[in-house]
Amino acid sequence: MDLNLEPQPENPAQKRKIAMSLAFVSAAMILATLFTHGWLRAAGGIDAGFGLMSLQACEEGSCKSISNKEMIDEHNTMVKKAKELSASYADMGRDMGLSERDLEEKSAIFWIMGYATLLFALLAAASLVVAGVTLGQGKLMIQPIAPTSTAMLFLFLSLVTACIFVATNPTRGTGMQLGVGWAFWTFGIGTVVGILAVPMILKFKPVEPDHFQV
């Protein structure tokens, strides 16, 4: 039996392709989630869900949508007016089968984090695509700002804002609570793939000349 114990040489071309592929896969997964209504989904066969910008509900093939900001503003306005009209607002709400959460004003943080996630994720995906393309051309950009640096920055920022977006779910504890949907998990996996791709791409960073060399 012939055992070859010699270390096998690395294949830079193959590693380059893997790094490029991970960058493109990450960008594709992130972009696939940004304009869907799968971030928070209703259960029980109800076709309704939140996207980063709006809430959409469908019934018998007809769909209606409202922006997250507008939905929050309308709910808070209704709560304020109802409280002004009735001193026994809470009792009235309970008689209607509403929970305490249904009767509370909702935080604007929810829709703000939705827009922030959209912005950061678009910038992260664009940075990953630029990094992957320039790597494939053998001209990985490092000046004036490396796309790998912006990719890593916006990947982390978008992951944070996405988690806050889901955590501030305005339906939590209400009679119509929506749960975390497929888009959030797909986005999370895509973000992790991007974070893994960046250091692999950086291995092909051009060597800076030694200015002190004579």
Helix (H) or strand (E) holding 125: helix 109-136
pLDDT in tens, 22-75: 999 999 999 999 999 999 999 888 999 999 999 999 998 899 999 999 999 998
Decide if 209 is inside a domain: no
Decide if 186 is inside a domain: yes
Decide if 86 is inside a domain: yes
Angstrom distance (rounded) from CA 44 to CA 81: 32
Cis peptide before 144 (omega within 30 of 0): yes
Q: How many domains does the chain have?
A: 1
Angstrom distance (rounded) from CA 45 to CA 11: 50
Decide if 207 is inside a domain: no
Cβ 60 vs Cβ 44: under 8 Å:
no
Decide if 185 is inside a domain: yes
Decide if 76 is inside a domain: yes
Angle at 43 between CA 176 and CA 175, to 5 degrees: 15
Decide if 74 is inside a domain: yes
The structure tokens listed for 36 are 């869907």
Tell me which of 194 and 9 has the higher pLDDT: 194
* Structural domain span for residue 147: 21-202
Model pLDDT, residue 93:
52
Exposure string of 16-55, with b = 16+ CB inside 10 Å and e = fewer, is beebbebbbbbbebbbebbebbbbbbbeeeeebbbbbbbb
Check the CA dihedral 182-185-187-190 and report its sign.
negative
Decide if 7 is inside a domain: no
pTM confidence score? 0.84
CATH number of the domain within which 29 lies: 1.20.140
